[in-house]
Amino acid sequence: MTDIVLKDVDPILAERIRRVSDARGWPIHDTIFNLLEQGLFVCEAEVRGGLSDREVNALADAISALKDVPPGKGF
């Protein structure tokens, strides 16, 4: 699994994440993973709203192909 590093996180956002973690009893890692996944579901639903099935499949294929591109040296 790929590591994701979050830099310069706004203190208010970090506190909101911590509160969700505490409320759910999840470790921070699991909390961030779950929030990211849930946020992606929302964004994907918004993207799909204006696309046909054929367009959604083409977009999914393009995203899948990008996963095969070797990582760069970063920013």
d(CA 31, CA 4): 14
pLDDT digit string, tens, across residues 10-60 = 999 999 999 999 999 999 999 999 999 999 988 877 766 777 888 888 988
User: Domain for residue 3, yes or no?
Assistant: no
What is the pLDDT at residue 75? 57
User: Domain for residue 71, yes or no?
Assistant: no
d(CA 17, CA 3): 18
What global pTM score does this model have? 0.58
d(CA 45, CA 25): 28
Token output for 13: 């956002």
Q: What is the total count of domains within the chain?
A: 1
Q: Please name the residues in contact with 20: beta carbons below 8 A apart, sequence gap of 6 or more.
A: 26, 31, 35
**In terms of residue numbers, what domain contains 58?**
11-66
d(CA 21, CA 32): 8
